[in-house]
Chains A and B, each alone.
Chain A
């Protein structure tokens, strides 16, 4: 590490780090956020006892910046109460869906509460066997506007996007490239083309180009899952065609869904969702595109496989098909695993895992 070690390799590393760093630009006014948190009238800092307030305040102030504050802050507060939709007992697989080509099964029943909507949201997750992240879908409950009219469609799209930006994935293996400060300024619809107008964070939040591409697919998949008649999505930032989205050059065409196999993880456990509590006998439902439609599954407790088997999906790769497996387990905490077993060496490919509690 001493200076004389500086060769061409060090110079290349230095250049790459500086180039990468220069792509990063802070968003918004960090100084205001800091000052609000330290409270300029309390120059010695917060008394220890007040720290929780400081932390709570920061969650709100992080998104400060004008009239939208209250709305977004309210929304963020609601996040703490967000509950993941219960396991969809009414999932009947794609054959019962009106648009089976575009939507995995597992759509939960509409929420009983009129102002809550259950919205599909895609997030990014890594599979051990593929390079880079893939899309996985979760269902989240979100506050919905009160509109019951023809505007409902754009309302739902707005709710879906807001939820996508601001909600943490339930499954800790999943990730979200968008800034939680991204706001949905407007949603318009013309035929199968939806135009969404986002705040500047959509442009300035920077991720690598592969993640950015998948982040755009995450957006398209979420919007077109919320409304299956949507085929194209145009993204504006502050009302204009953006030069960048997620820090990378923005596409100059409306976005469409990329082929499922290119962006979606090939094996999913659709239900139960991560963190769910289920009764002793329940059905694990999945969605996969695997060789000969054969999905392997395991139930793991305390690191030991307590049950394992195969399920047959309705269709095999390259198509996606639904599968299900009825399970009866003693009360306790379990990890459900589904994967494709490699025909070559028996290794486990594309593992999806969900931690659940059986009562």
Chain B
């Protein structure tokens, strides 16, 4: 019998924390910008997962539950906080600090800034696809939307980012 099948809720929290906490915080931070809120969102998600463990009882389902919870809670946190990142896509370039000498960092910042200016669902789709590396079906589950909607959010997001993504070789 698989050892994971015998985990109780506390063990599930400990094991999944060790394996996935940092990555989930990074996921939330990409959606949110604010690391402290990102950590709170992920901790909330673990607490919720602990409550749901009786029902989940499976590490893969639990991870899927955690992702879904992080995405949902990040979205709520963003809506709660009236100050969303409203940087125009060009803001990062115009204001890059002298501390950041490398062009690579500038490019990266510009891309991330443009990503953060996207509508929430488009941003979620692209982060889940290109940071977490989920399939279309997994993204649909994490966001609670249809695969068709995932496709269209992704396509619109990529179109909106095209200028920053293809600006330079």
Measured CB to CB, the residues of A under 8 A from B are 1-2, 8-10, 12-22, 24-27, 30-31, 33-35, 37-38, 40, 43-46, 62, 124-126, 128, 131-132, 172-175, 177, 179-181, 205-210, 213, 247-249
Do B29 and A13 have beta carbons less than 8 Å apart? no
Highest count of chain A CB atoms <10 Å: which of B50, B88, B91, B112: B50
Partner pick for B10 among A43, A172, A175, A247, CB 8 A cutoff: A43
Q: Is B60 an interface residue (CB 8 A)?
A: no
Name the CB-closest residue of B to A19.
B108
Q: By the criterion CB–CB under 8 Å, are B165 and A131 in contact?
A: no
Check if B33 sits within 8 Å of A207, measured CB to CB. Answer: yes
Tell whether, in the assembled complex, residue A13 and residue B95 are in contact, meaning their CB atoms are under 8 Å apart. no
Residue of B nearest to A179 (CB): B36
Question: In the complex, A43→B11 CA distance in Å?
Answer: 10
Instruction: Tell me the bound Cα distance from A1 to B30 in angstroms.
Output: 20
Residues in A with CB closer than 8 Å to B10 are 35, 38, 40, 43
Which residues of B sit under 8 angstroms from A31, Cβ to Cβ? Answer: 13-14, 17, 21
User: In which size bucket is the chain B interface?
Assistant: 35 or more
Q: How far, in whole Å, are A141 and B139 apart by their CA atoms in the complex?
A: 46
Are A131 and B88 neighbours in the complex by a CB distance under 8 Å? yes
Interface residues of chain A: helix, strand, loop or mixed (majority) = mixed
Given A30-B21, A35-B13, decide whether A208 and B33 contact each other with a Cβ distance below 8 A.
Answer: yes
Say which residue of B35, B42, B54, B158 sits within 8 Å of A205 (CB atoms): B35
- How far, in whole Å, are A37 and B99 apart by their CA atoms in the complex? 40
Asked if B100 and A209 sit within 8 Å, CB to CB, the answer is yes
B92: A residues at CB distance < 8 A = 208, 210
What separation, in Å, do the CA atoms of A209 and B96 have in the docked complex? 7
Chain A residues lying within 8 Å of B97, measured Cβ to Cβ, are: 209-210, 213, 248
Max chain B C-beta neighbours (<10 A), residue from A24, A27, A44, A181: A24
Q: Are A209 and B109 in contact (CB under 8 A)?
A: yes
Check A1 against B150 for contact (C-beta < 8 Å): yes
Are B35 and A21 touching (Cβ within 8 A)?
A: no
A20 cross-chain contacts in B, Cβ below 8 A: 30, 108, 112
> Complex: how many Å from CA A162 to CA B58?
43
Please report the C-alpha to C-alpha distance between residue A27 and residue B22 in the assembled complex, in whole angstroms: 10
- Give the nearest-CB partner of A246 in chain B: B35
15 contacts between A and B (CB under 8 A): A1-B125, A13-B161, A16-B112, A17-B131, A21-B29, A21-B131, A26-B21, A30-B17, A35-B10, A38-B10, A43-B9, A172-B83, A207-B34, A210-B92, A210-B97
Tell me the nearest residue of chain A to B90, going by C-beta. Answer: A131
Contact with A along B110-137 (1 / 0, CB 8 A): 0111010000000001110111000010
A351 to B43, CA, bound (A): 37
Contacts of A9 in B (CB 8 A): 158, 161-162, 165-166
- B-side contacts of A131, CB under 8 Å: 87-88, 90-91, 94-95
Chain A residues, Cβ within 8 Å of B9? 38, 43-45
Chain A residues near B40: list those with CB within 8 A.
Answer: 62
B154 close to A (CB within 8 Å): yes
Q: How far is the CA of A62 from the CA of B9 in the complex (A)?
A: 21
Could you say which of A14, A15, A205 contacts B36, with CB atoms under 8 Å apart? A205
B43 touches A21 (CB 8 A): no
